[in-house]
Each structure stands twice: as C-alpha cells, then as structure tokens.
A = this chain, B = another copy of it.
Amino acid sequence: MAQTIDGRATLESVAREARVSRQTVSNALHRPQVLSPDTLVRVQRAIDALGYRPNRNAQSLRTGESRLIGLRVDPVPTLSGGVLDRFLHALAEGSREHGYQLLVFAPQSPDDELSGYRDLLTTMTVDAFVLTNTHQGDPRLGFLAERGTPVVSFGRPWGAEDDHHWVDVDGAAGTHQAVDHLVAQGHRRIAFLGWPTGSDVGDDRRAGWAAALRAHGLPAGPEATAAEALDLARAAALGLLTGSADRPTAVVCASDVLAVGVLHALHRLGLRAGADVAVTGFDDSPAASLSDPALSSVRQPLEQVAAEVVRVLGALLPRRPMPPPERPSGVLVEPTLVVRESSRARATEATDRPPAQHPTEENA
C-alpha cells in the first residue's frame, strides 16, 4: 500500500507492489492481451491500490507525442455570439474521448502569424491543430502541411489550390431550408440580405437562397448587401423594403445581425415582422431568441462539427488503428432552421403549429 515518498506512484513502484517488472506493468496498460490473466489482475490490483496514473510528461518525452491538440482563439470574436462556446466545449469533450486534450492559445505576434504555430510544434507542445476561420491561400495550411502536422479545419478550402482535411457547415443548405420554409408559408417574393460579395461563406449562403428560388420556380427576388453592423443592415433593409412597388414578403439573411437589422427596419416602417414580412437569420445566436419578435434562424450543428473534426483528426493522429486517408477528406454537415415568430404567419400569439419538418424552439 505504501506509495513513493512524495506520494506519487510510478511504474516502478507498481511493479514492486505486484512483483513483476516495469515492462509488465506498462504492458498491462497498453497491451493487456499479451499478459497471462492472473498476472494482469495482480498488476491491476497494484495499480488500483497505489492509485497509479502514468506520468504524461514521461510518456510524451518517450513517444514524442504530447497528445495535445492546439486551437487558436482570436482576439476579436470571429465565430459570432456563443458559437465559440459551443464549439469549444464539444471539441474538448470529443478530444478527451480520444485520449487527447485541448490546448488553447492566443496569437503572440500579429505580424508573424505563423510563429505561434511553429513554436508549439518545435517545443513538442502539441501534436495537431484545429484551424478555424481559414481563408483562401491561408499560409497556415501550407506551413503545417509542409511539416506533416495533422490538421483539420472548420471551414472548406474555397480555393482550388488548397487541399486539406476539413469539416464545414453547408450554409447554402441552410438558406435553402429557410426558403423552403417560407414558400411553405405561402411566400412568393423572397428577398435576400447578405454580406458584400467576395466572402466565401456569404456567397455560399446567397447561393442557397438563389438555388431554392429556382427550385421552386420563383423569380429571383430582390437582394441587398451590408457589412456585419446593425446600422448598415438596417439601412440596407430599408432600401430593400421600400425600393420597389411590390415589396418582398420575406427576407432571408446571411446572419442574425443582418436579420435584426431587418426587424428594426420593419418596425420603423410600421410593418409587423412575421405577419407582414417574414425574416430569417443565420447562426441562432442568443440574440435571435431575444429579439422581438423572436427570430427564426439557421442553427449550425457545432457539436456535430466538433465530433467530425475529432473523428477526422483521429485518423491522422499517430495512434491510428488504420492508415490515414491519402486524399484530403471533407465533411459537410447540415444545419437546421429553428422556426420562431419572425417567420410565422400569425406571429403574436403563435397558436398555430409550425410545419412538421422544421423543429420549433422547444424541441431544437
């Protein structure tokens, strides 16, 4: 029962306790099948008695793997409102299940973007990275690929020259769903409020809206763009709602901030959101359920994204049960529209049942 002097059990002390060699204890942990059954239980008992847990630093030194996954957090929240929270938790949970831990780091020098990554690698602090917010020709991707570092990014390689492992949310499918939902509610003139052209994510969300209109045989509705700021969104929405004779009866937006801008514009015009003009947002940020009326919004399945990221990463990491895929793999997951008052016909009392294929807030 006696532990080491400083109270910490080691392989050696367990071995003594169980009357076996060091190596046998190590085998009991990593390859139990090679031990005879009775030796195994004897070692197990010693491990339990001493409360032994392997020293991770010694393992890492010997094996050359830290079993830590690096995730960079940005100074300005790029994943808006609570998105990072959810993603982070799901990622931490997922990696733990694979025996890995999550190391969160902040960029150290804004001028040399890569130095932080290089440092964590050469000091052998982390084995792999999860990247978010990658853009076309992102230098991090080339840098890490060159070193053979396992990397999975949350976000597609939009450029043709980038190829790497990724998981992403199908934004186009999200806006497509929004249009489907609006069409089912009887809407025919469905506008789009997006970000200025040139952002991959924004263009994708717009494409889903456009494709859905075509699929339903509807004419391309009016559209406008605004940067991610409330006042700009409101101004753009005012233009959209007053620009032509036949006002759109619904507006699909590329973000919750833009959608809230539309709500404000409607309020200013004396129109009722939901009843007169339906609105949908994107991201299902906390603000969506707090707006008046509550905002229908496309919710990203971040838990699922994180699980997929960990799964793909797991195949790349050295502990792999099977060889890693030769070709970069991509996973696209489907978001879900959460329907609230802003897109229901009779908005204020919401006595009607929502369409069955879309979850309501209660069961989302």
Contact = CB atoms under 8 A, between A and B. Distances in A.
Interface of A: 8, 51, 53-58, 60-61, 66, 68, 71, 73-75, 77, 80-82, 84-86, 88-89, 92-93, 96, 101-106, 108, 119, 122-125, 230, 256-257, 260, 263-264, 267, 285-287, 289-292
A8 to B, nearest CB: 7
Contacts of A125: 56, 101
6 contacts: A57-B60, A73-B89, A92-B105, A93-B106, A285-B287, A286-B286
Contact of A106 (B54, B81, B89, B263): B89
A73 to B, nearest CB: 5
Contact of A74 (B74, B89, B124, B230): B89
Contacts of A230: 289-290
A58 B77 CA distance: 35
Contact of A89 (B53, B75, B93): B75
A148 B192 CA distance: 58
Nearest to A52: B122
Contacts of A75: 89
Nearest to A78: B85
B290 A257 contact: yes
Given A60-B57, A81-B81, A123-B53, A103 B68 contact: yes
A96 B106 contact: yes
Contacts of A88: 73, 84, 88, 104
Given A77-B85, A104-B92, A263-B292, A55 B61 contact: yes
A92 B73 contact: yes
B289 A123 contact: no
Contacts of A122: 8, 51, 53
Contacts of A285: 286-287
A97 to B, nearest CB: 9
Given A61-B58, A77-B82, A230-B289, A106 B92 contact: yes
